[in-house]
Homo-oligomer: A and B are copies of this chain.
Amino acid sequence: MALTPKTLPIPSTKTIHLSATSTEYDIHIGQGLLSTLHPRLQKLAGGKSYRPFLITSPNIWKLWSKQVRASFPEAESPTVLFLPPGEKHKRLPAVESLAEQLAQHGADRDSILIAFGGGVLGDITGFLAAIYMRGIPYVQIPTTLLAQVDSSVGGKTGVNLAAGKNLIGSFHHPRAVFADIALLKTLPPLELRSGLQESIKAGIIADPKLFAYLEQNNELIANGDPEALTKVVTASIKVKANVVAKDERESGLRMTLNFGHTLGHAIEAATGYKKLLHGEAVAWGSIAALHVALARKVIDPDTFARMANLILSYGPLPRFKATASDLVALTSSDKKTRSGRRAFVLPTGIGSTEIVYDVTDEELTAAAESMLQTMRATGVKPS
């Protein structure tokens, strides 16, 4: 007798419980979570009826639709809606189009959205869930390392304006996150390494053990060993979940997650959000931030070197075209600016940080210049 999907055992996974002010939920990390999606959603719904709507991109669906479908009894299979891949679709018209489709399919407050894709798709789907009928539940199934270790956790959702990235959005937490390590098998190696830059960030700001593990297992991790990746993803998510639990709305501590992102975002803006992957831009931004810390002597040259080397060891990082002053000028529209004051995250050692508000444009320009020197020396041609 064949097993029905319902009776498949749920394989053992690591679970991180995120308990914040407004909500709490579990983040599951493991291999093959996809095949148990249906019983997991049933558990989440607590026996109540719910209608699943899965939002994904055509290329991801081509790779994984069989596994997803196999988890559901045919009658309960999710309605699938598509979003073309790419940052350029991360805008309000895409949200409106998906919302119209939800309405046409009769989605209501007892429906649940499933964000099945990378960070952009997760941000859009989370935002759609935040504003459809003033908020409906959703879960995240991140398909990239970057989305698994960063964007799928923490409830930040949103889209871009022409005037800047993520200027439109909501805090809306998923009901659960399923980080299936098996999904990373089909990820291009460059995307994997780029995503690992956010894990390096997690190590730098909050987890010396993760930092050391990344140093010591570079080859295993960068080559996508599932066991090693499970460890890295779990530790990275723990850092993020811990920060979000303590500062859900980014009034303080959560800003530390922004390490490397002030100039990282500027680099993305300077290159039209096209030439570099997010993790690559953050890597260069982190190096610049390290230079600020070094110049201020909040870290010593040895710590600087260990941090910079770890970042570069998960490269090679691509070159890009921008001057230091261009980049500094582009930091002024960052959302982390409040009434003109720019919050800046400095590491004070491996696993510790401080937030300062007095980094001057001159300091930042000098640090960006030092970073650009490293780029000219070590950067490779963008692929």
A positions within 8 Å CB-CB of B: 49, 91-93, 95-96, 99-100, 103-104, 108-110, 127, 130-135, 156, 158, 161-164, 167-171, 333, 335, 337-339
Q: Which of B127, B168, B337 contacts A108 (CB 8 A)?
A: B337
Q: B100 near A132 (CB under 8 angstroms)?
A: no
Q: In whole angstroms, what is the CA distance A75 to B56 when docked? A: 49
Q: In whole angstroms, what is the CA distance A134 to B127 when docked? A: 10
Shortest beta-carbon distance, A81 to chain B, in Å? 14
Q: B168 near A335 (CB under 8 angstroms)?
A: no
Shortest beta-carbon distance, A257 to chain B, in Å? 14
Q: B162 near A338 (CB under 8 angstroms)?
A: no
Q: A100 near B162 (CB under 8 angstroms)?
A: yes
| Residues of chain B lying within 8 A (CB to CB) of residue A93 | 92-93
Q: B133 near A167 (CB under 8 angstroms)?
A: yes
Q: Which of B135, B161, B333 contacts A99 (CB 8 A)?
A: B161
Q: Which of B156, B158, B163, B337 contacts A103 (CB 8 A)?
A: B163
| Residues of chain B lying within 8 A (CB to CB) of residue A96 | 91-92, 161, 168
7 extra interchain contacts, Cβ-Cβ under 8 A, other than A100-B162, A132-B168, A170-B170?
A: A93-B93, A100-B161, A103-B161, A103-B164, A109-B338, A133-B167, A134-B158
Q: Which of B104, B109, B156, B170 contacts A163 (CB 8 A)?
A: B104
Copy total for this chain: 2
Q: In whole angstroms, what is the CA distance A35 to B77 when docked? A: 59
A156's nearest neighbour on chain B, judged by CB, is B134
A91's nearest neighbour on chain B, judged by CB, is B96
| Residues of chain B lying within 8 A (CB to CB) of residue A108 | 335, 337-339
Tell me whether A99 and B167 are in contact in the complex, defined as CB-CB below 8 angstroms, given that A109-B338, A131-B131, A133-B335 are known contacts.
Answer: yes
| Residues of chain B lying within 8 A (CB to CB) of residue A130 | 170
| Residues of chain B lying within 8 A (CB to CB) of residue A337 | 108
Shortest beta-carbon distance, A98 to chain B, in Å? 11
Q: In whole angstroms, what is the CA distance A379 to B104 when docked? A: 34
Q: In whole angstroms, what is the CA distance A158 to B127 when docked? A: 14
Q: In whole angstroms, what is the CA distance A239 to B305 when docked? A: 65
Q: Which of B103, B132, B164, B338 contacts A110 (CB 8 A)?
A: B338
- Identify the interface centre among A95, A110, A168, A169: most chain B CB within 10 Å of its CB: A168
A162's nearest neighbour on chain B, judged by CB, is B100
Q: In whole angstroms, what is the CA distance A130 to B339 when docked? A: 19
| Residues of chain B lying within 8 A (CB to CB) of residue A335 | 108-109, 133
| Residues of chain B lying within 8 A (CB to CB) of residue A131 | 127, 131, 158, 168-170
Q: B103 near A339 (CB under 8 angstroms)?
A: no
A95's nearest neighbour on chain B, judged by CB, is B92
17 contacts between A and B (CB under 8 A): A92-B95, A93-B93, A96-B161, A108-B335, A108-B338, A108-B339, A109-B335, A110-B338, A131-B170, A132-B167, A132-B168, A133-B167, A133-B335, A134-B156, A134-B158, A134-B170, A135-B171
Q: B103 near A169 (CB under 8 angstroms)?
A: no
Q: In whole angstroms, what is the CA distance A335 to B133 when docked? A: 7
| Residues of chain B lying within 8 A (CB to CB) of residue A92 | 92-93, 95-96
| Residues of chain B lying within 8 A (CB to CB) of residue A109 | 335, 338
Q: In whole angstroms, what is the CA distance A156 to B132 when docked? A: 13
A50's nearest neighbour on chain B, judged by CB, is B339
| Residues of chain B lying within 8 A (CB to CB) of residue A156 | 134
A105's nearest neighbour on chain B, judged by CB, is B163
| Residues of chain B lying within 8 A (CB to CB) of residue A49 | 339
Q: B103 near A167 (CB under 8 angstroms)?
A: yes
Q: In whole angstroms, what is the CA distance A95 to B95 when docked? A: 13
